[in-house]
Amino acid sequence: MRHVIALDVGGTGMKAALIGADGTLLHEARRPTGRDRGPEAVVESILGFAADLRAHGIAHLGEPAAAAGVAVPGIVDAALGTAVYAANLGWRDVPLRDLLSARLAGVPVALGHDVRTGGLAEGASARGKGADRFLFVPLGTGIAGAIGIDGAIEPGAHGSAGESRPHRRTPRRPALRLRPARLPGTPRLRLRGERGVGRGERRPRGGRRGLRQGRGVR
């Protein structure tokens, strides 16, 4: 049965499918990206996953995939087929389209940005269909968006339109309390909000004049 490979590479996991010529979902698979092993290992994981999908097509569908579409995060040069940069995967200037085509016995491979590819699908068949302008913002390991204009996704001057960065949520920490520097022999002043000083509490007698005369806080 004629089919293609669809592979989405995320910062944490990879999702893939074999899709029939009529759009039928024929097979699904998932694997961890394994970014903790470094960018070279991630690239090899992608190539190995694609090769296994091709083998599955031969074994269960009677023929290898006719083509493959691969979506990756970061900055992507789709025309050159290069994964230019991905902060969450650590790679730079990876000729991923050529590497995948070689691993898949020379079949055509399309390489695209993960979110812009999702936005393209959204504009063609889902909520964005028929809209002359739309914004597609999925949430994943990082946050990025796709800008749909007149049925196409805007890549930007450098292929990074809508691209953001990985965001890390940190636990709430106690507020930092700063204490003013005090020279030897001068009275100690307390900041509003510091224990022992609040609204209505007395300040140094005589205001600034009292400070100059060395009077303290009662």
Residue 109 has pLDDT above 70, yes or no: yes
Residue 98 has pLDDT above 70, yes or no: yes
Residue 145 has pLDDT above 50, yes or no: yes
Residue 136 has pLDDT above 60, yes or no: yes
Q: Are residues 7 and 110 in the same domain?
A: yes
Last residue of a domain, one of 86, 114, 142: 114
What's the pLDDT tens digit per position in 117-130? Answer: 888 887 777 677 77
What's the pLDDT tens digit per position in 45-86? Answer: 999 999 999 999 999 999 999 999 999 988 889 889 999 998
Residue 191 has pLDDT above 60, yes or no: no
Is residue 35 within 8 A of residue 42, CB to CB? The reply is yes
User: What CATH number is associated with residue 76?
Assistant: 3.30.420.40
Last residue of a domain, one of 91, 114, 137: 114
Alpha helices in 114-193 (DSSP H): 114-125
Q: Evaluate whether residue 60 is within a structural domain.
A: yes
Structure confidence at residue 151 as a pLDDT band (50, 70, 90): confident
Q: Evaluate whether residue 37 is within a structural domain.
A: yes
Q: Domain range for residue 192? A: 185-218
pLDDT at 56: 98
Q: Evaluate whether residue 140 is within a structural domain.
A: no
Last residue of a domain, one of 85, 114, 143: 114
Separation between Cα atoms, residue 70 and residue 88, nearest integer Å: 17
Residue 91 has pLDDT above 50, yes or no: yes
Q: Evaluate whether residue 178 is within a structural domain.
A: no
Is residue 113 within 8 A of residue 159, CB to CB? The reply is yes
pTM: 0.68
Q: Evaluate whether residue 86 is within a structural domain.
A: yes
Q: Evaluate whether residue 132 is within a structural domain.
A: no
Mean pLDDT of all residues in 127-146: 76
- Into how many domains does the chain fold? 2
Mean pLDDT of all residues in 42-47: 96
Residue 217 has pLDDT above 50, yes or no: no
Q: Evaluate whether residue 148 is within a structural domain.
A: no
Query: Which are the contacts of 99, defined by CB distance < 8 A and separation ≥ 6?
Result: 43, 47
Average pLDDT value over all residues in the chain: 80
Higher pLDDT, residue 1 or 157: 1
Separation between Cα atoms, residue 39 and residue 11, nearest integer Å: 11
Mean pLDDT of all residues in 15-43: 95
**C-alpha distances in Å from residue 134, one per residue of 126, 146, 165, 206:** 12, 8, 21, 63
Q: Which of 9-23, 165-179, 183-197, 199-213 bottoms out in mean pLDDT, i.e. has the lowest?
A: 199-213
Q: Evaluate whether residue 174 is within a structural domain.
A: no
